[in-house]
Amino acid sequence: MPGLYIGSTSGYSGKNTITAGLGLALKQAGLSIGYMKPVGAMPVDTPQGLADEDALFVREALGLADDPAHTPAAMTPVVVTHDFKREAFENRLPGMTPDGKGGGLLDDIRAAYEGLAKGRDLMLVAGSGSMYSGKYSGVDAVSLVKALGIKAVVIDRFEKELNYDLLLMLGEQLAGGLAGVVLNDVPPAYLEEVTEHLAPFLESRGVPVLGILPRDPLMGSITVGDLAQRLGGKVISAHHRTDRVVSQFLIGTMQVENFMLHFRKKKNAAVIVGGDRADVQLVALEGDCPCLVLTGNLYPNDVILTRSEVLETSIIIVREDTFTVAKKMENLLTRHKMRDGVKVRQGAELVARHLKLDALRKTLGV
C-alpha cells in the first residue's frame, strides 16, 4: 500500500495545510485517501477517547469524519501527554528498548497504519513538529518512515532563509525514502533566487523539489474572533463581524499624522493602541481596519463605541500593555494554525497550483 509521510524541518511549517490540500487534490483526481497522524502533540478529550486536535481537524477537512475506520485511536495511536514524557524519560514505555528505540510504539503505529490503509489507494501520514521530534521515544519521523516503508515529503518554511543544509542531511538519512521537498511561504523578494538557484542546486544533490509555494497573506491570517480568544481579550462591539480577517498589525503609539501615513500602506491590519488614544482609534475606524485592540484594560469613549458599531469594526479589550500584546500578535500571525474552511480551500488551491502532483504520483506509483 503506497503511503506518504508529510513532515517538516521545524514546527509550524504548513504540514496541516499541505496535507489537507494534497489530500483534496488527490481525491479530486479519483483516489481513495486514508489519513493518520501517528504521534499527536495536541491532546484533546473526545467521547471516543484521547485524540489529537490537528488530526481531528484534518480528518474533517478531508471528509473522513464519518468514516468508521478513522477513529481517534486509529488515527493517532501515540498521543504525547505529560505522563507519556515522564514514562519515556524513565524508559518505561511499552516495548521501549534501553537504547530508546520505539519498540512497541512502532508496532502500534504500524498496526494502525495497516488497518487504515485497507481499501485505500494512498495513505497520508502527517508529522508532528520536525522530522526529529519524538526521537526521545523512538517515534521520530525518520524512524517512522523507515518502519512503515513509505515515502516522505519534507516541508521547509522560509524564515529568514531556507534550511538547505538540513534538507541535504534528510536526503541522505532517508536515502530512497525521500519523495521530495516543498519550499513553503517564500516571500516575493526571494522567489527568483529560490527558483533559479536553490531549487536546481537541491535537485543536483538528489533532493527533488516538488513545489515552491509563494507567501500568501491569507494563510498567515487569523479571524478577529480567534484573535480575541488567543489574546485573552474581550470583544465589546460589532460582535457580528468577528469573522473578519487580520493578516498584519500596526501599533498606534505614534502621532496621528505619522500613523495615517503608515496605516494607508497596511491592508487587513489590526491596530493595537492604548484605550486612551481616541484620536488614533477614530482614524483607524474610519480607515476600515478589521479591528481595534485596546491595551491596558482601558475602555474607549462613547463616540468611539458608537462609530465602531456603525462602521462594523470590532473592538477588543486586553489587559496587557501595548508592547506585550504586539509580541503576542507577532507570534500568532507567524504560528497560527489552520482552523477554518477558507484556509483549507486556499491551501488546496496553492497545492494544486504549485505542487508537481504528477511527479509525486509517479514516485508513489498511484
229 burial (CB, 10 Å; 0-12 / 13-18 / 19+) is middle
Q: Residue 95: is its pLDDT beyond 80? A: no
What is the residue-averaged pLDDT of the chain? 89
Report the pLDDT averaged over residues 10-26.
89
Report the pLDDT averaged over residues 82-96.
85
Under 8 Å CB-to-CB from 26, ≥6 apart: which residues? 33, 122, 357, 361, 366
Confidence of residue 256 (pLDDT cuts 50, 70, 90): confident
152 secondary structure, DSSP code? E
Q: Residue 77: is its pLDDT beyond 90? A: yes
- Write down the pLDDT at residue 352: 83
- Write down the pLDDT at residue 267: 79
- Write down the pLDDT at residue 97: 67
* CATH architecture designation of domain 222-335: 3-Layer(aba) Sandwich (3.40)
The full set of domain ranges for the chain reads: 3-218+337-364, 222-335
Spell out the CATH class of 3-218+337-364: alpha beta
Q: Residue 131: is its pLDDT beyond 90? A: yes
- Write down the pLDDT at residue 248: 82
Q: Residue 39: is its pLDDT beyond 90? A: yes
Give alpha helix (H) positions in 70-185. Answer: 72-75, 82-89, 104-117, 141-148, 164-174
Q: Residue 196: is its pLDDT beyond 60? A: yes
Q: Residue 243: is its pLDDT beyond 70? A: yes
Say which residue, 266 or 274, is predicted with more confidence.
274
The 3-class secondary structure across 32-75, one letter per residue, is CEEEECCEECCEEEECCEEEEHHHHHHHHHCCCCCCCCCCHHHH
Q: Note whether 252 and 277 are within 8 A (CB).
A: yes
- Write down the pLDDT at residue 59: 94
Say which residue, 208 or 253, is predicted with more confidence.
208
Phi, psi for residue 46 in degrees, rounded to 5? -130, 165
- Write down the pLDDT at residue 100: 61
289-308: per-residue pLDDT in tens?
A: 899 999 999 999 999 999 99
Q: What global pTM score does this model have?
A: 0.79
- Write down the pLDDT at residue 249: 87
**For the chain, what percent of residues have pLDDT higher than 90?**
61
277-290: per-residue pLDDT in tens?
A: 888 899 889 888 89
Please give the distance of CA 203 from its chain centroid, rounded to a whole number. 26
- Write down the pLDDT at residue 56: 93
